[in-house]
Structure 1
Amino acid sequence: MSHFSQWVFKVRFDMNINMKKLALVTASLIMAGGAMAQSTATGTGTSNATVIAPITITPVNTLEFGNVVAGAGTVTIAPAGGRTDSVAALSPGTQIGTVRAATFNVGGQGAFTYAITLPTAAVELKDSAATPNTMSVSAFTVASGGTGTVSGSVGTLAGGAGNLNVGATLNVASLQVPGAYTGTYTVTVAYN
């Protein structure tokens, strides 16, 4: 091989090595630039909300124990509306008057379920005397009034509606003063 041929070979060899080095450096820079571009990223999330109808309760019928003869005992009105006297002497016979469970309409969303809270303590009924005479009502119970369902203290709406029937027990004293007695109680409903 001549001197010139050796020199051309060396120049080509050196250029080939330098081109490989240049390619390696270029590739390294490209990868470093790509890695920098991937060090941050953004994404778009979605948020949703559904507004539902508020739950409501509206009294329809009052809880009516009817006429009661003074005497120690209790008068119970079942949620279905039937009356039971603990002693026969409390009943005025056929002149029993208006007897019914209380009725409430519940409104809300679709077929949602709700908790029913009844009074746990006795509620006082008073007459209109200057110094009121009293009786107590206790042992409140609840059942479905036909629309929706009730199981224990949980109701389920049907098409956004429900009915509740509420019964309770009236406690009558042996010397209860005759008169019309009235009082209030609270029934609370809340979505589960």
Structure 2
Amino acid sequence: MKKTLAYALALGSLAAAGPAFAQAANTSTDTASGSVTIIRPLTLTKTTDLAFGRVVQPRSGTGTVSIANNSTTVVGDNGAVVLSGLTTSHAVFGVSGEGAQVVNVTSPATFDLSNGANTITVTLAPDWNTTTNQVTLLGSLGAAGSATLNLGGSFNLPSTQASGAYTGTFNVTVAYN
């Protein structure tokens, strides 16, 4: 009886091992490699604010005030007169990161300048491609890269606009593509 039980256990073990042997004969192995490219983090630094200076509103109607994205000259039109004496400038931001990398740029189309309850809506005029909102950093992969972002702007100035100092802020954001 002990012998019969030992034979039965041995046969059971072989039967259970049978499919394992068959599977081992039907295996395949291949090798994959891994990789990574490390790039520098992006840094965005505002170097110059958007400043329109002092402007005299028109006596009647609505004038236009503008500054190009590559200039410090503010232009008044249709009765709006720009005075000298205050610094004027387009907004300038410096971007640094990994050379030759494409960077997405986000900025609002407009922002408000406020004086209490009074507001003036400024339409921004960036110097980058606003269809793709992308710039490519100068330099090459493995080296530091940079780009300069310039924003001008314009606004309508009605003869009824309250006088006073108007201020406001807007955000510019950059991210790797």
CA-based RMSD of the aligned residues comes to 2.2
2:161 aligns to what? 176
Q: Which amino acid aligns with 2:126?
A: V
For normalisation by structure 1, the TM-score amounts to: 0.66
Identity of aligned residues (%): 38
- Measured in 2, the distance between the counterparts of 1:118 and 1:36 equals 60
For normalisation by structure 2, the TM-score amounts to: 0.72
Q: Is the 2:42–2:97 contact (alpha carbons within 8 Å) kept by the matching residues of 1? A: yes
- After TM superposition, the structure 1 = structure 2 runs for residues 112-131 of structure 1, keeping only pairs within 5 Å, are 112-120=101-109, 122-127=110-115, 131=116
1:132 aligns to what? 117
Q: Is the 1:78–1:166 contact (alpha carbons within 8 Å) kept by the matching residues of 2? A: yes
For the pair 1:73 / 2:31, whether they are aligned, the reply is no
- Measured in 1, the distance between the counterparts of 2:23 and 2:45 equals 64
Name the one with the larger helix percent: 1
- Measured in 1, the distance between the counterparts of 2:85 and 2:172 equals 26
Task: Quickly say closer, same or farther: Cα 1:59–1:191, change in 2 above 3 A.
Answer: same
Q: How many residues align?
A: 145
1:44 aligns to what SS in structure 2? coil
For the pair 1:85 / 2:76, whether they are aligned, the reply is yes
5+ residue gaps, structure 1, are: 1-34, 144-149
Instruction: Tell me which stretches of 4 or more aligned residues in structure 1 moved more than 6 Å.
Output: none
1:103: how far off?
0.3
Q: Is the 1:70–1:174 contact (alpha carbons within 8 Å) kept by the matching residues of 2? A: yes
For the pair 1:165 / 2:153, whether they are aligned, the reply is no
- Measured in 1, the distance between the counterparts of 2:125 and 2:57 equals 24
5+ residue gaps, structure 2, are: 1-21, 140-144
2:15 aligns to what? none
Of 125, 133, 136, the residue aligned with 1:141 is 125
* Larger of the two Rg values belongs to structure: 1
Of 121, 139, 156, the residue aligned with 2:136 is 156
